[in-house]
Structures are given as C-alpha cells and as structure tokens.
Amino acid sequence: MSMTVERLADTTYTLLEERLRDKSIILIYPRHRSRNAFAAMFFDVYKHNLIYYNLSEQDTTLDSLLENLIKDPVFPGDFGKQTRAALADRRATPEDLAAAFGADLFTLRSDSFMFMLDCFDRLEMSKAAMRFFETLPAKMPSNAHIVLNGRLIDVQPWNDLILAGRAAVVGNESALGSGIYGDEPRQGQLEVFALAGGHVYIDGRPVTSWDGSLPRYLFYYFVDHTMVTRDEIFSIFWPNMPIKEATNVFHVTKRKISERLGYELTNYSSGFYIPSPRLTIHYDVRILENAADRAIEFEEEAPSLWYQAIQLYRADFLPNVHTPWANTRREILKNKYARALIGLGRYHRGLNEPDRALGYLLRALREKPDWEDVHQDVMMIYYQMGRRDEAIAQYRQLEKSLSKMFNIKPGKETRRLYEIISAV
C-alpha cells in the first residue's frame, strides 16, 4: 500500500517529511494528478495525529469557515473559546482572528499534529482571508501544521509565506516548470495545458472567458511562438485584410488578452513579439519538445525523457482549435509523442520485458497506424511470445491501414516476416 501511494504521489515518505520540517503551512500542489494520494500519505504518516476538516459550501468566507470549524465534532467541545470571542468582537481584524485561532491551537494538544483543510478552494481568498493566513504561521504553536488541499489555490499569499520559509509545497516535483510557487513575488504565473484540453491558469486561477475565439486563438499562438513578427501574425490570422484594418483588429484582440490575464502577454522588441518578462510561462508543449529533443542528444537519459514526454501528452494539441497553424503543430506533436512511445517500447523490449514493450508500441500505433516498422516490432514480439495468431492479426491490421490510407500493400520486408510467422 505504501509503495502504491508513493508511486501515485510521485514522491517518498522520507522526502515528504523533509519538506514539512519546521513549516507551519503545507500546500498540496493543486495541479498534481493524484492529490488524494498525498492526502493518503498524510493519513498514513500521522495516523491519529491528523485532524481532518472538509470545507463545505457554507465555508466560503473567513468568518463562516472559522465559525463552522470550531463547532465541528473533530475538535473537543471546549475548543475555540478565543476564536469565538474574536468573531463576536466587531472590531476584530483578520490579524486578531489569526492570533485567536493560533492561541486555540495551543490548547489542542502537546504532541506534533497535522490539521488538514480539504476542498480548501471553497474559501474565497478575500483580502481578509489573505491577511489571516499571512499572520497565522507566526501565531501557531510549533507542533501544529496546517495542510491545504484544493483543486484551485492562488499564488498569494502562499508564495510570500514560502519565500519567508513559513510554508512548503508538496507535489510540485512533476509540475510544469516546477510549479507556480517559489518565484519572485511580483512575477505572474501562467500555466498553459495545450496537451490536456487547452486549460489556462493565471496565478492559480482558471481563465474561462476570452470574449470570443479570436483572443483565445491569438493567445495560444503567442504562447506557442516565442519570437514572431507582426507580418507573420497577420499572415496567419488576417491574410486577406488590409494592413490598417488588420492592425486595429490585432491591437483590440491583444488588449482583450491582457484584460483576461491581468498582465501583458508579450513585449515588442527589435521587430519581434516576445514573451513578457513579467510572466513565468509554464507550457506543457515546450517541456515535451525539450524532453523529446534531449532524448535524441543524450542517449543515456532517453528512457526517462521519453517517459516525461508521454506523461505530458494527455490529449492532442488544442483539440478544439481548428486552424492551419494549430493543425500543423498537432501533427508534429503527435509524431513526437508516438516516437517517445516507440522509444520506450524498444527500450523495454531490449530489457526482455515484452508485455511492457507491447503496451507502448500498441499505443504508438493508435496514433500512427501506418508506421510499418512498428507493426514489425509488434509482430516479432507476439511471435517470440508464442502468440502466433495475434502476430498474424497484427499484419492484417497493417494491411487494412495501408490500403485505407494510401492504397498500398506492406513492404517486402514485412511480407517476408509474415510468411515466416504464418508458415510455422
């Protein structure tokens, strides 16, 4: 069970405990694929020393959260006296509430304990809530640690607390670009998941409205092209429009992007639009392409780089964007994904792990059913495993794919392999 949880969480119990040492607040990285695995690790490590509270739909404000929290059965009946008094005082500031809640935590227990706030994104991170959590670590007992788990967690105030050494993040080891926390305070954090449905987050919050498809398409184009001229942009988006009109539409569209992000996406320098230095851009495509390119250059690192690439490729590139440039990029990235799968398949075949090899190679053929050399690999693996009928069926599948796609037959080498297999 422990090994399974570690694999899902993509970390170890030892590393987890190292991250938590001397930290008052711990964030489970909101975009981690298996946040629940981290929650399971906390329950496993701390067992009876973990207090769990699941935020409900009534816990949207700081006051309502504290009111409901101190009444919850997870706490002793006399818990929360100072918090209750502070909530009753209309003059109490968020800092006063933090001091009161921290004081109540001192009365809870003397040994080390974890207090997990699950579904934390139900709390609206208002200015009052930010001030509360900015103050809380200094008011808490050293034996208490608060764990925050939520699908959406803003950059602030957590980034400042991390930089100050009062908070830590777990689960960001496999995040795009090491995640959105830990950068300089005024740096915007833009996450773009073009290989996972096209989702976009700015400073931890999703961008869901673009005021039309054109700003969204231009946004993706800018993110995917780090150095581009105005003429190149116009040729892609407004090839038949007079320059003056195209210029007006371009600037209006660009302004809409800035309004949605709260930052300028690009700077103009020496005739090129380049990424704004105010933004740190975490882009899955860029990481995949870097891994695929490094796998070619550094053979000894290739298996881990191929694995990184296929982990990033969760769906075709921007599946809902049907423009010539996006279609071209989609095909290029699909090829790189398929080649990573083939690389892993042949790697595991070399390790005499035929089942794992087949898994990767068959996934590659789902993307590229016309790649004849991969069909040959699969036929040989089936044949060597004594699965002759499946090897023959694989050849028939290749025949069908090549006939449908190109009206051709398999090559001489593949036909000879088929003859050897079918003659047995």
The pLDDT tens digits for 319-350 are 999 999 999 999 999 999 999 999 999 999 99
Confidence of residue 8 (pLDDT cuts 50, 70, 90): very low
Q: Is the pLDDT of residue 173 over 50?
A: yes
Instruction: State yes or no: pLDDT of 1 exceeds 50.
Output: no
How far apart are alpha carbons 136 and 95 in whole angstroms? 8
Rounded to two decimals, the pTM is 0.85
pLDDT at 255: 95
Handedness of CA 233, 284, 254, 278 (dihedral sign): negative
The pLDDT of residue 249 is above 90: yes
Q: What pLDDT is stored for residue 4 in this prediction?
A: 54
**Nearest to 114, CA basis, from 26, 37, 34, 28:** 26
Position of tokens 């946040």? 35
Q: For residue 18, name the pLDDT band (cuts at 50, 70, 90).
A: low
How do the domains of the chain map onto residue ranges?
Answer: 2-175, 199-282, 295-423
Q: Which pLDDT score is estimated for 366?
A: 93
Looking at residue 108, what is its pLDDT? Answer: 82
Helix (H) or strand (E) holding 4: helix 2-9
pLDDT digits (tens, 9 = 90+) for 268-306: 999 999 999 999 999 999 999 999 999 998 988 899 999
Average pLDDT (341-367) is 94
Q: Has domain 2-175 been given CATH number 3.40.50?
A: yes
pLDDT of residue 169: 86
pLDDT band at 42 (very low <50, low <70, confident <90, very high): confident
How many angstroms separate the CA atoms of 305 and 345, rounded?
13
As a whole number of angstroms, the distance between CA 275 and CA 422 comes to 57
CATH (one of 1.10.10, 1.10.3470, 1.10.60, 1.10.1660) for 199-282: 1.10.10
**Percent share of the chain, pLDDT over 70:** 94
User: Whole-angstrom Cα distance, residue 17 to residue 113?
Assistant: 13
Mean pLDDT of the chain: 89
423 pLDDT higher than 50 = yes
CA distances (Å), 49 to each of 6, 42, 109, in order?
20, 10, 9
Both tokens assigned to 108 = 């809870």
The pLDDT value recorded for residue 252 is 95
Portion of the chain with pLDDT greater than 90, in percent = 63
Class for the domain spanning 295-423? mainly alpha
Strand partners, 117: 53, 148
Sheet of 50-54, strand order: 50-54, 113-118, 144-149, 25-28, 167-170
Provide the pLDDT for residue 13.
Answer: 55
| pLDDT tens per residue, range 250-262 | 999 999 999 999 9
